Structure 1
Amino acid sequence: MLERRTRSADAGHAPHEDLVDHLVRSTPLQRGEATRVVLDVLAYFDEPAEAYVRRRHRELQSQGLRNDEIFERIRHELPHRAVAPPDLSMRQLRRLVYG
């Protein structure tokens, strides 16, 4: 059922099925809903740093923040991603957004 990010299945048991089982036991989610939540979270953390920077820039800009505030906030958020990208300078962040 969980096809994303699965490299191998052990005896027919796909990786992350244990997480789906846990969510079904510990929340009111049904199996299909729990599976969608897990896949959504995995997709969120699969997002490359460049795509994350562009998406967050658009989101924060739509909230009315200025670029200086936006790039500072993104710079502080990046190390907390599941796989932290290298430390990016303000200039590198701007280049990711504007080319």
Structure 2
Amino acid sequence: MLEPRTPVHDDLIDHLVRTTPLQRGEAARVVLDVLAYFDETTAEFVRRRHRELQAAGHVNAEIFERITAELPHRAVAPPPLSLRQLRRIVYG
């Protein structure tokens, strides 16, 4: 994990401190959280969203439809995945 004061991100952290009510440490944590979110692989995203939606009471048909709709909106969108590919990611 990156240190809260990583020089590469100092300009972004400074910007957040200037433009939001966040303190420097809070802004650094936000930057690190966002970077970690976008580091998630497609398979990690599919598994995480499946768990979250299943825990919220959704059934697989709804879950896979929703994941399919969400994937193209990722920062780096993967190629379209079939229902079979999604199931294989989740269940192996």
TM more than 0.5: yes
CA separation in 1, counterparts of 2:18 and 2:91?
A: 46
Q: Deviation per CA, 1:38-91: give whole Å up to 9, x if none.
A: 000000010000000000000000011010000000011011111111110111
1:64 pairs with 2:33? no
The answer to which structure has the higher helix fraction is 2
- The Cα RMSD (Å) is 0.8
Q: Which amino acid aligns with 2:11?
A: D
1:49 pairs with 2:39? no
What TM-score do you get using the length of structure 1 for normalisation? 0.85
Following TM superposition, the consecutive aligned residue runs of length 4 or more in structure 1 with deviations greater than 2 angstroms are none
TM-aligned CA deviation for residue 19 of structure 1:
1.1
What TM-score do you get using the length of structure 2 for normalisation? 0.92
Q: How many residues align?
A: 88
Q: Which amino acid aligns with 1:70?
A: I
Indicate the residue corresponding to 1:91 in structure 2.
84
What percentage of residue pairs aligned between the two structures are identical? 74
CA separation in 2, counterparts of 1:43 and 1:74?
A: 19
Indicate the residue corresponding to 2:30 in structure 1.
37
Choose the corresponding residue for 2:68, options 69, 75, 88.
Answer: 75
* Alignment gaps of 5+ in structure 2: none
Q: Which amino acid aligns with 2:31?
A: V
* Alignment gaps of 5+ in structure 1: 3-13
